[in-house]
Amino acid sequence: MKLAKNYEPNQYEADIYDLWEGSEAFTPKKGSHKDSFTIVMPPPNANANLHIGMGLTVAIQDAVIRHRRLKGKHALYLPGADHAGFETQSVYEKHLAKDGKSRFDFSRDELYAQIWDFVDENRGIFEKQVRQMGASCDWSRYTFTLDQKIIDQAYKTFKKMWDEGLIYRSERLVNYCTLHGTGFADIEVEHKEVNGKIWSIRYPLTDGSGEIIVATTRPETMLGDTAVAVHPKDPRYKDMVGKTVRLPLTHREIPIIADEYVDKGFGTGAVKITPAHDFNDSEVGKRHDLPVVQVISHGGLINHNAPEEYQNMDVSAARIRVVENLQKQDFLVETKDHLHSVGHCYKCGTVIEPMLKQQWFLDMKPLATEAIKVLKAKKITFYPDSKRQQLITYLENLWDWNLSRQIAWGVPIPAFVNIDDNEDWIFCDEVTKEEIEKNGKTYRRDPDVLDTWFTSSSWPYATLSESDQQQFYPNSLMETGGEILQPWVSRMIMLGLYEKGKIPFEEVYIHGYVMAEDGAKMSKSVGNVIDPMPVVEKYGSDAMRMGLISGRSAGVNRGYDNRRVEEARNFCNKIWNIARFVEDKLDQKPLKSFSPKPKTESDHWILHKLTEASDQINKNLENYKLSEAYDVLYHFVWDDFADWYIESAKTAPNAPILAHSLCSILKIAHPFAPFLTETIWQTLHPDDKSLLINQTWPKIGTYSKSKSDDFEKVQKVISEIRHIKTTLQIKKGGLYYIHAPFINLQSNLIKSLARLESVEQVRDGRGLTLISVDEKCWLDIDFESAERFSKQLAGQLGDIEKQIEILQSRLKNSTYVDKAPKDLVRESKDKLENLKKEHDLLSTQIAQYKGDL
RNA sequence: GGGUGAUUAGCUCAGUUGGCUAGAGCACCUCGUUUACACCGAGGGGGUCGGGGGUUCGAAUCCCUCAUCACCCACCA
């Protein structure tokens, strides 16, 4: 089989993936933990097609996995999908809305079943797309977050925490979205700056001795006020503490209390306290044992605890009415504009209402403390390291975690309450039943489900069987985007330590977001989301992967750049054509059957360069410098191998060296361009069942360093001549054809390239031609370009003189000679010597050139 | 309010403990009718590394300060 002229990725990619998947290549062999390498894929949401960010995820993770596999590790890349509880349900609700329905038209079980089908369909699409991107995952270990083993693990953990008193049930303020009808964890609330107003309101003292003026941004909540607070050391209000005020509009009598929480400098220094609808107020209320008056319902309407006038109004309407009435009754002192931060539902943008609710909470203190310890001890390496500190800060300020969600799509909370007293809770994992009997009593299931992060936080071990855990836990690398550092990475660390007593992974690599091409964040509502699949179809999966990796470093957000993908596509084609050239010289023998025997200087040089490149790429990949590794590969293959070695090898190709080099290039390029390299490998091993994916990283080649250096000297000469006028070219039959102005240089060059003893000269009006005696090689000298070059040479001479000056003054500086590292000083001296020589050479050349003309 | 990161060529970005004339890709200009490749080859132009100050023999790199832009966190009514 011959390689076609251009690389057309979509002709090969699907077949190649099947070839891999059909073999055992993706399944790691059994072995020790030390000899293994694991990445458990952060499960993408199973509710939608993949976007380009997943392309980057796969590109990075798969490159690392393939590299470790080539290095001889038992590499496991475990794929998965996330049911993404609330996320998925809200996507599905949008589907329902199109048909004019809402989730409240269905029972929980019906809804659950419908979403299950919906997700099942999408999961197929997503799995196919991950395959198209070339991810070398072990599909036999594929895990969905609603698989029984994950649920079992979640219940096991839940029970353990329950038994140890870490999980508790409590009526507390939670972040509540009145539109979605569910509570959230703190991390899910999005704070936005909002231009609001701040109102100052007169609260008259009941004893008629005056008034106190409070400032608030939410006047409607005053319907539920149960106190006014001032700072204990505030002289303005010292005498008022202990008195009571008559709450305007509702006319309830509430006390004035003193609490450290109040900031004397803000507003009027007096704060209204609404324990039912504000987190701070709730804390103050607890300290002072204040009553809690809830005036906003879970649907976001004012309830029966408020005066009738306001009942069933929504919050914003109530606010307007309250302000109007305050003004009418002369309680309003002033209104000012006020910029402040307000929590919003991250999905629908509804203002989050702090709402009193019975929920399950997890006490985070003990878990966080352990996690902070391992983070501070650097037991886990972070790329970039700044993310580690960020996590510590987060963990240090963590509040208890609200585990309850009032949605259908998720893992039911395995808790049942005694229907007689509504207080006696028992743990039971028979969650398919609504009610159970125990000890002659009836218990009803908690209708809520667990926060999706609670189940997915066991991901590093729950995905693995018992025996797998021996080999693959802790995982080697957790590679993920920065947006889930806090909600997910932190919790995996806490739960891993809690359940397994070990860190869940040894290294964490955080990639930045792929932004839209203009640098803005991609979002569905803006409509600038980039779909990776058309990119894969147009340029190939390899080009997309390399294009995303190229020039991108850990933790940094960057826009998608199609030029990078085109660059990578061209690179794929370059490798392809290198393979075609080499294929011609192989004489039908399999690529890997050659052992290299370097003959010429260039042979030694390319083996040296190859060794250097494979070494650097290896080191960069080990340190997760994907972009740098790719860069080394790109320039080695293109500049060194294609532009220098192949060009110089055209006259007398050394097949074993070409074959060996290509063989190595395929291996070191494989992590970046798996499809392309495997396609070439398969084509060049027609009668062989071996797979490139299973080969081993290239061994260090043997070469002579001095001969390699010799070739670099030749390169330098050639470069100089090219600089004069372009063409070092090979005619049919392998003739050199060179334009150049300098006889001496030319003669040397011809000799070094063609190893000739003598040359003949022919001169005409336009220039001078040098021809080797056997007429296999000649140089054509063009006076016109020589003229141009003379100016450049003069410039060059000037540059060298400047450098000499700098070096000389540096070396005259005694502090430099004393303080700078000795080898640096020596280097400077050597360099000065070389520059001087170069200067002399150039001067003579210029003189000679004038003679030539 | 607190924190983090960024600012380098026309564009998108590299530049790991301070040390070769600051790099790449794309774009631009000149040249080339080459059986590996025009998804190509050779060459070229283009940057006072955001401004200012400091430390140092030496700063894109360390410190201070100012400016602009991102992002994250947060219970100041």
Q: How far apart (Å, rounded) are the C-alpha atoms in residues A652 and A19?
A: 37
Lowest mean pLDDT segment, chosen from A53-67, A201-215, A777-791: A777-791
* Strand B close to A269 by CB, under 7 A: yes
- Encode pLDDT of A646-689 as tens digits: 887 777 788 999 999 999 999 999 999 999 999 999 999 988 88
Residue A570 contacts strand B, CB under 7 A: yes
- Identify the residue whose Cα has the smallest distance to the C1' of B73: A394
Q: How many whole angstroms separate alpha carbon A44 and alpha carbon A83?
A: 9
A813: Cβ under 7 Å from strand B?
Answer: yes
For A635, the token pair is 């320039």
Residue scoring higher pLDDT (A144 or A787): A144
Interatomic CA distance for residues A735 and A717, integer angstroms: 18
* Interatomic CA–C1' length for residue A638 and nucleotide B59, angstroms: 34
DSSP calls for A179-236: TTTEEE-GGGEEEEEEEEEEEEEEEEBTTSS-EEEEEES-GGGGGG--EEEE-TT-GG
Six-digit token string for A825: 């000083």
Q: What structural domains and CATH numbers belong to chain A? A: 29-150+457-543 (3.40.50.620), 190-344 (3.90.740.10), 544-703 (1.10.730.10), 729-852 (no CATH)
- Mean predicted confidence (pLDDT) in A429-443: 84
Q: Which of residues 123-142 of A touch strand B (CB under 7 A)?
A: none
pLDDT in tens, A505-554: 999 988 888 888 877 778 777 777 888 999 999 999 999 999 999 888 87
Q: Which pLDDT score is estimated for A722?
A: 62
Cβ–Cβ under 8 Å, residues A770 and A760: yes
Q: In which order are the strands placed within the sheet that holds A441-445? A: A425-427, A415-418, A441-445, A435-438
Contact, A442 CB vs strand B, < 7 Å: no
A194 falls in which pLDDT band (50, 70, 90)? confident
For the ranges A141-150, A471-480, A546-555, the lowest mean pLDDT is seen at A546-555
Going by pLDDT thresholds of 50, 70 and 90, the confidence category of residue A736 is very low
| A300 dihedral zone (left: phi>0; alpha: psi -120 to 50; beta) | left
Task: Work out if A172's Cβ lies within 7 angstroms of strand B.
Answer: no
ipTM exceeds 0.90, yes or no? yes
- Which pLDDT score, from 0 to 100, does residue A499 have? 93
Contact between the CB of A559 and strand B at under 7 Å: yes
What pLDDT sits at residue A594?
A: 87
Between A232 and A694, residue with greater pLDDT: A694
Assess whether pLDDT exceeds 80 at residue A149: yes
Residue A390, CB, less than 7 Å from strand B? yes
DSSP class of residue A440? T
| pLDDT (0 to 100) of residue A743 | 41
Q: Is A718 helix (H, G, I), strand (E, B) or coil?
A: helix
**Does residue A223 carry a pLDDT above 60?**
yes
Query: Which nucleotide comes closest to A796 if you measure CA to C1'?
Result: B21
- Say what the pLDDT of residue A738 is: 41
> What pLDDT shows up at residue A431?
75
Q: What is the residue type of A375?
A: L
Between CA A343 and C1' B3 the distance (Å) reads 19
pLDDT, mean over chain A: 83
Among chain A residues 730-759, those with CB within 7 Å of any atom of strand B: 730, 732
- Protein CA at A717 to nucleotide C1' at B14, angstroms: 29
The residue that leads in pLDDT, A346 or A17, is A17
pLDDT band at A2 (very low <50, low <70, confident <90, very high): low
Task: Estimate in Å the CA A640 to C1' B8 gap, whole number.
Answer: 27
CA-to-C1' span, A558 to B54 (A): 33
Entry pTM: 0.86
- Per the DSSP assignment, residues forming a β-bridge with A559 are A515
Q: Is the pLDDT of residue A367 over 60?
A: yes
Tell me, in Å, how far CA of A736 is from C1' of B47?
A: 38
* Length of chain A, in residues: 853
Distance CA A701, CA A657 (A): 11
Whether A586 has a pLDDT exceeding 80, the answer reads yes
* Token pair of A145 as six digits: 């977050």
| pLDDT(A303) > 80 | yes
Do A594 and A588 contact (CB within 8 A), yes or no?
A: no
CA proximity to A384, closest of A178, A572, A553, A594: A553
The pLDDT value recorded for residue A195 is 76
A37 pLDDT above the threshold of 90: yes
Give the pLDDT mean for A616-639.
91
On chain B, which bases lie within 7 A of the protein's CB atoms? 1, 3-6, 12-16, 19-21, 24-26, 31-32, 34-37, 39-44, 56-58, 70-77
Sign of CA dihedral A414, A417, A423, A425: negative
Highest mean pLDDT among A628-642, A687-701, A775-789: A628-642
Tokens 């979605």 sit on residue: A180
Check pLDDT > 50 for residue A728.
no
User: What integer pLDDT is reported at residue A7 of this predicted model?
Assistant: 87
Residue A669's pLDDT is 96
Greatest CA span in chain A, whole angstroms?
122
- Give the rounded percent of residues in chain A with a pLDDT score beyond 90: 28
